[in-house]
Amino acid sequence: MDFNMKKLASDAGIFFTRAVQFTEEKFGQAEKTELDAHFENLLARADSTKNWTERILRQTEVLLQPNPSARVEEFLYEKLDRKVPSRVTNGELLAQYMAEAASELGPSTPYGKTLMKVSEAEKRLGAAERDFIHTASLSFLTPLRNFLEGDWKTISKERRLLQNRRLDLDACKARLKKAKAAEAKATTVPDFQETRPRNYILSASASALWNDEVDKAEQELRVAQTEFDRQAEVTRLLLEGISSTHVNHLRCLHEFVKSQTTYYAQCYRHMLDLQKQLGSSQGTIFPGTFVGTTEPASPPLSSTSPTTTAATMPVVPTGAGLIPPEEAALCLEEVAPPASGTRKARVLYDYEAADSSELALLADELITVYSLPGMDPDWLIGERGNKKGKVPVTYLELLS
């Protein structure tokens, strides 16, 4: 108990000395040992690395999991060292809803068949997203998190220890400075009336006493300087290790880009296959159209006006065909509208014809539309003046 009390008293004294030194530095009443410029640059680079690593880590987590509640749940599981439960991705959930809708609305109908095809594609997209999240977490997020929770905590601990060593060093310098000033004053004006505790009899001049104080302060300063230099070297080595951290993060960044490239390539391939499937299932009444085009028929957004861009939708893939579009256009001109069943329709979005068998549309214009026996329900025949061609139903609002 006696030893513990002495240690506690010693620690309290050291803490008080550091607090006084820190306070006097803040008020400009004490000198502060400055670190060299190279060391300051290392500190600044380390702080910048830590701050940007935190930001990149947090934003990557948002990219991989946009749901904040899910992120909090995963964080709690990690802190409790428990396995994070498997979570259904948004694409897989959408695929499930589409499959259920197709089963209820009729899987044999054109709409139900298309729902099933899109459901399968969304399921594959969801699986690709799951693989991407898993790969990115292991190859990119984990190394960043290990740096913040491992290396950076070690650096922060050594920096705090260096700060304490510096405060001790500056306190010793201030004590030595005061002792030398008192010694000089005692040498100039001796004072033999100075007393100590009652059981102590002053047997030497004040000058000799302050000389002993100066020697003691110099010894403490040498010890503090040695400890400060040793701690500064340890901290410097850790800070210089930030360069290795950058190299490691660079490699992880390449891995992240590779996994992201693989993910988007898989998504593109799945959607291209879906587009071909939907294109091949279009009606065959207009055999002159092209199958599964991989390029959008509408002009790029940069070439359209702001008004047109807001009302422009992606072009629906056209049906399969065996004859040139020119012959298909001639067949359309020879088709007569039915005696009854024509309706007026308002165009919702701009539509650029993929070939001569289709009719180009402008938003908000009125056209006459009708269907023919055996025609794909996703398409109608549209007439505007003496022009006639196929138009997608999804771009129209049928009027009474």
- Per residue in 140-189, pLDDT (tens digit) is 999 999 999 999 999 999 999 998 888 888 888 888 887 777 767 766 65
- Whether the predicted model's global pTM rises above the 0.85 cut: no
Under the banding of pLDDT at 50, 70 and 90, the label for residue 207 is low
Cα(346)–Cα(207) distance, rounded to whole angstroms? Answer: 107
Crossing angle for the helix pair 152-188 and 206-240, to the nearest 10 degrees: 160
**pLDDT tens for residues 89-113?**
888 999 999 999 999 998 888 899 9
Beta bridge partners of residue 383, listed in sequence order: 368, 388
Residue 88's CB is within 10 A of a number of other CB atoms, namely 12
pLDDT at 374: 78
Residue 307 in this model has a pLDDT that exceeds 70 = no
| Position 69 confidence tier, pLDDT thresholds 50, 70, 90 | confident
* Closest listed residue to residue 255, CA positions, set 377, 147, 383, 144: 144
Which sequence spans correspond to the domains of the chain?
11-188+207-285, 342-399
pLDDT digits (tens, 9 = 90+) for 240-263: 999 999 999 999 999 999 999 999
Supply the pLDDT for residue 342.
85
Calculate mean pLDDT across residues 197-225.
66
Q: What superfamily does domain 342-399 belong to in CATH?
A: SH3 Domains (2.30.30.40)
pLDDT for res 387? 87
CATH number given to 11-188+207-285: 1.20.1270.60
Residue 380 and residue 351 in contact, taking contact as beta carbons nearer than 8 Å: no
Higher pLDDT, 360 or 297: 360
Other Cβ atoms closer than 10 A to 359: 20
